[in-house]
Chain A
Amino acid sequence: MTERNRPGISFNEALEEKLAQANWSRREFLGRVAAFGAAAALTQLLVACGGGAASPSAGPTTQATPQGTTTAEATATPAPTPVPTPEKELFVYNWDQYIGEETVQKFQDKYGIKVTYDNFADEAAQIGKINSDGKGGGYDIHYPASTWVASFVTDGRIMPIDHSLIPNLKNLSAAWQNPAYDPGNAHSVPNFWWTTGYAWDPRDVPGSPTSWNELWNPARKNQMSMLDDIRECFAVGAFLLGFSPNTKDLGELDQILQKLEVQKPLLRKYNASSQIDDMIDEVVQMAHCWSGDWVQMTYTKPRMKYVIPSEGSIKGNDVMVISSGAPHPIAAHLWIDFNLDGDISAENTNYIGYMGPNEAALPKIEDYIKGDKRLNPPQSVLDELIELEYLAPADLAQYTDRWNALRA
């Protein structure tokens, strides 16, 4: 966090500037603090930077659970239209810096429902918390990647969405009304989507690279980074070798591993989160990253470029889901409906740089996001991109084993 603590800027200013821009860093930061048990030290920092984010380890599990039975009855007879509910609270669990700046406050003002908005550091922390009691860990709403929906439904982690409580579902574009991962949006509502590619610094990298092979260029030894993400790295290898990024074929996985082993000695880092800072600070010239990372790089260094490589790449989206043990299910539906409002959705996108599936939001989304082919690719490009599919534990273990062999 403090690496950009430049002369003339106080620690807090630097931190605040960073937190505003580099949500990935903050997630990572939170994660490490959670892992290290130093939440107390962090709280001060968060207060100092006005983020209002609670420590991810301070979930509302205890106070939330007892109310579960009484409010569950309320869902049985849902009101036909969203009206203020007897529920006075809502527990939301989301990525840090992954929502409009004023969205939470506006929701509170509109419905008089107090929102406890907690952040998680990474997907592992999120899934761990949600699975801790098998029904959401006391949170009403959380934001998993779409690939989790099927297993959450099977395991009873989330409840069906009552569409009559969410009139704004009509704002979803046609393509998102019936996604493959959750037909009819029965158990989830799409939130944001992204692409994977790489960013580069035109000062060091001539021309307009388009291939994933650029990340294997020995001339850039020690000046490139890959995402510290098993699936994303294996996907890059798969695209270069012409395999599916969802392959379960052990022979293909072995070939991908060999490919990645050639690349490893050339890399400065496998980046869990500092890909934004490392590009801004010119530690690396080229970084495997997500589209939103690049947007945030350009806030500081507008010259930075991003490409969705020609061999193919990944698209993904996350969703809003309601825990099966949600203490406040009606308020949770109101929350989803509120975030699907065209104005609110546009504010969310304009703040974090990720495009959502909301058609009503389009007119209010900033042109630099909406008009950028890399952030908002035309349908023909999107159709070519592939979604990472959920892997069963046995298949994931094949990936993890090879990843560990690579990293060791």
Chain B
Amino acid sequence: MTSATAPAELDHATGQIHEAGAGRSAAAATSILVLPGVLWLAVFFLVPLGIMAVVSLGAVDQGGHVTLAHPGLGNYTHALDPEFLPALGRSIYYAITTTVLSLAIGYPVAYWISRYGGRRKILLLILVMLPFWTSYLIRTYAWMTILRDNGVINSLLLDVGLIDQPIPILNTDLSVILGMTYGFLPYAILPLFVSIDRLDFSLVQAARDLYATGRGAFLHVTLPLTMPGLVAAGLLTFIPALGDYVTPDVLGGAQTTTIANLIQVIFTTGRDWPYGSALGFLLMGVTIVGTLIALRSLRREVIGVSA
């Protein structure tokens, strides 16, 4: 029963279903439909990535141009400099905190929409996606209005008399984590919803019939069956959060620099694309390792069980 829900998340599983149903020509037709996507990714993702990979081996000459005269891994050894560790650590801390908060907040919301949304499910999902109608940047600036020393929260607390001096919220770790959690929450809710909505609730009822407590049924039935959604939601939150530089830049302060902020400085003011590329690839390496660990745990917990 686990396998019925889990692999449906995976693309190749859907492909197999089509193949079995309509035969070889349908598979060929599907391949043609996939072609634009593959081409798009190849031209606009893989090619630039390849260029950055080559650039990361180069250097900047006296005129400020990228040169590959003496290719080497010097940029990578430079990028491993421990001076970046505090910023990298901060990035990971923000990303993990944001992910945990997004899952903790998103799961009940997704669960509620799926179980009790009824006919209004679509409307509720649109509400979740509503923030995307406005640029993330503008919404982040709006948070400044709320968090500033003379902003909504501080004014309210001052008026109520809870504080007699504004509490600095903006430009702190708290404001960055708040902003990031706000920004990435919809990315967590949507895959969670898909996963929970696909859950056959008669299984939960069966568990209850077999004298499982509500908590037991959740921990042993609902949670494992929605694990693919949790992992997907976690990845969709963690990966962009790790590379986010806009939120720490807008809502952060002098003490909240992330590794992505530093990469941005190296590319723009520093005008050192080779070094920036190398740092970017290192960050990508951290992301890939994190993703692999998450996917392995998914396999062990879900797919592994049924195999």
* A residues apposed to B, CB below 8 Å: 1-5, 29, 32-33, 35-36, 38, 41-42, 45, 122-125, 127-128, 151, 154-155, 222, 225-226, 229-230, 264-265, 267-270, 272, 281-283, 392-394, 396-397, 400-401, 403-405, 407-408
Partner of A393, one of B62, B148, B171, B261: B62
The answer to whether B268 touches A124 (Cβ under 8 A) is yes
B150 within 8 A of A: yes
* B residues apposed to A, CB below 8 Å: 60-64, 83-87, 134-138, 141-142, 144-145, 148-151, 168, 170-171, 246, 249-250, 253-255, 257, 259, 261-262, 265-272, 275
The answer to whether A3 touches B151 (Cβ under 8 A) is yes
Given the interface pairs A124-B268, A155-B63, A400-B265, the reply to whether A2 lies near B144 with Cβ below 8 Å is yes
Partner of A2, one of B83, B84, B145, B168: B145
The answer to whether B272 touches A269 (Cβ under 8 A) is no
Given the interface pairs A3-B145, A282-B149, the reply to whether A32 lies near B137 with Cβ below 8 Å is yes
Considering the complex, give the chain A residue whose CB is closest to the CB of B261.
Answer: A407
The answer to whether A408 touches B255 (Cβ under 8 A) is no
Q: Tell me the minimal C-beta distance from A388 to chain B in angstroms.
A: 13
Q: Could you pull out 6 A-B pairs where Cβ atoms are within 8 angstroms?
A: A41-B137, A226-B254, A397-B60, A397-B275, A408-B85, A408-B86
The answer to whether B257 touches A36 (Cβ under 8 A) is no
The answer to whether B150 touches A408 (Cβ under 8 A) is no
The answer to whether A270 touches B61 (Cβ under 8 A) is no
Q: Tell me the minimal C-beta distance from B245 to chain A in angstroms.
A: 8
The answer to whether A122 touches B63 (Cβ under 8 A) is no
The answer to whether B83 touches A404 (Cβ under 8 A) is yes
Q: Which chain B residues lie closer than 8 Å to A401 at the CB level? A: 83
Q: In the complex, A2 Cα to B148 Cα: how many Å?
A: 11
Q: In the complex, A264 Cα to B85 Cα: how many Å?
A: 17
The answer to whether A36 touches B149 (Cβ under 8 A) is no
Q: In the complex, A33 Cα to B141 Cα: how many Å?
A: 11
The answer to whether B168 touches A222 (Cβ under 8 A) is yes
The answer to whether A407 touches B266 (Cβ under 8 A) is no
Given the interface pairs A3-B144, A394-B62, the reply to whether A35 lies near B246 with Cβ below 8 Å is yes
The answer to whether A393 touches B135 (Cβ under 8 A) is no
Considering the complex, give the chain B residue whose CB is closest to the CB of A33.
Answer: B137
Given the interface pairs A32-B250, A404-B83, the reply to whether A393 lies near B266 with Cβ below 8 Å is no
Given contacts A124-B269, A267-B255, A269-B171, 16 further A-B contacts (CB under 8 A): A1-B138, A32-B250, A36-B135, A36-B136, A41-B135, A45-B138, A154-B63, A265-B255, A267-B253, A268-B254, A281-B148, A393-B61, A400-B265, A400-B270, A404-B262, A408-B259
Q: In the complex, A151 Cα to B137 Cα: how many Å?
A: 34
The answer to whether A270 touches B135 (Cβ under 8 A) is no
Considering the complex, give the chain B residue whose CB is closest to the CB of A231.
Answer: B269
Q: Which chain A residues lie closer than 8 Å to B170 at the CB level? A: 283
Q: In the complex, A394 Cα to B271 Cα: how many Å?
A: 11
Considering the complex, give the chain A residue whose CB is closest to the CB of B134.
Answer: A41
Q: Which chain B residues lie closer than 8 Å to A123 at the CB level? A: 269
Q: How many A-B residue pairs have CB under 8 A?
A: 128
Partner of B257, one of A122, A392, A400, A407: A407
Given the interface pairs A400-B266, A408-B85, the reply to whether A393 lies near B137 with Cβ below 8 Å is no
Give 9 nearest A-B pairs by CB, closest first: A124-B268, A41-B135, A400-B270, A38-B135, A267-B254, A408-B87, A3-B144, A405-B83, A407-B257
Q: Which chain A residues lie closer than 8 Å to B142 at the CB level? A: 2, 5
Q: In the complex, A36 Cα to B260 Cα: how many Å?
A: 14
The answer to whether B255 touches A3 (Cβ under 8 A) is no
Given the interface pairs A36-B246, A38-B137, the reply to whether A400 lies near B272 with Cβ below 8 Å is yes
Q: Tell me the minimal C-beta distance from A304 to chain B in angstroms.
A: 16
Q: In the complex, A401 Cα to B265 Cα: how many Å?
A: 10
Q: In the complex, A400 Cα to B63 Cα: how many Å?
A: 17
Q: In the complex, A258 Cα to B134 Cα: how many Å?
A: 42
Given the interface pairs A281-B149, A400-B265, the reply to whether A393 lies near B138 with Cβ below 8 Å is no
Q: In the complex, A88 Cα to B198 Cα: how many Å?
A: 62
The answer to whether A400 touches B269 (Cβ under 8 A) is yes
The answer to whether A281 touches B271 (Cβ under 8 A) is no
The answer to whether A407 touches B265 (Cβ under 8 A) is yes
Q: In the complex, A392 Cα to B259 Cα: how many Å?
A: 25
Q: In the complex, A401 Cα to B81 Cα: how many Å?
A: 10
The answer to whether B250 touches A396 (Cβ under 8 A) is no
Point out which of B86, B134, B254 has the most chain A C-beta atoms below 10 A from its C-beta: B254
Given the interface pairs A3-B151, A32-B246, A267-B254, the reply to whether A151 lies near B64 with Cβ below 8 Å is yes
Q: Which chain A residues lie closer than 8 Å to B135 at the CB level? A: 33, 36, 38, 41-42
Q: In the complex, A270 Cα to B266 Cα: how many Å?
A: 16
Q: Which chain A residues lie closer than 8 Å to B246 at the CB level? A: 32, 35-36
Q: In the complex, A225 Cα to B168 Cα: how many Å?
A: 14
Q: In the complex, A27 Cα to B261 Cα: how many Å?
A: 18
The answer to whether B145 touches A5 (Cβ under 8 A) is yes
Q: Which chain B residues lie closer than 8 Å to A127 at the CB level? A: 271
Given the interface pairs A2-B138, A400-B265, the reply to whether A283 lies near B254 with Cβ below 8 Å is no
Partner of A269, one of B61, B151, B254, B259: B254
Given the interface pairs A2-B145, A3-B144, A269-B253, the reply to whether A397 lies near B268 with Cβ below 8 Å is no
Q: Which chain B residues lie closer than 8 Å to A1 at the CB level? A: 138, 141
The answer to whether B138 touches A230 (Cβ under 8 A) is no
Point out which of B62, B138, B148, B266 has the most chain A C-beta atoms below 10 A from its C-beta: B138
Q: Which chain B residues lie closer than 8 Å to A270 at the CB level? A: 254
Partner of B137, one of A36, A124, A272: A36
Given the interface pairs A155-B63, A268-B168, A269-B254, the reply to whether A404 lies near B84 with Cβ below 8 Å is yes
The answer to whether B269 touches A230 (Cβ under 8 A) is yes
Q: Tell me the minimal C-beta distance from B94 to chain A in angstroms.
A: 14
Q: Which chain B residues lie closer than 8 Å to A265 at the CB level? A: 254-255
Q: Which chain B residues lie closer than 8 Å to A407 at the CB level? A: 87, 257, 261-262, 265
Considering the complex, give the chain B residue whose CB is closest to the CB of A5.
Answer: B145
Q: Which chain B residues lie closer than 8 Å to A397 at the CB level? A: 60, 270, 272, 275
Q: Tell me the minimal C-beta distance from B58 to chain A in angstroms.
A: 12
The answer to whether A404 touches B266 (Cβ under 8 A) is yes
Q: In the complex, A400 Cα to B271 Cα: how many Å?
A: 9
Q: Which chain B residues lie closer than 8 Å to A225 at the CB level? A: 254
Q: In the complex, A377 Cα to B221 Cα: how many Å?
A: 76
Q: Which chain A residues lie closer than 8 Å to B271 at the CB level? A: 124, 127, 393, 396
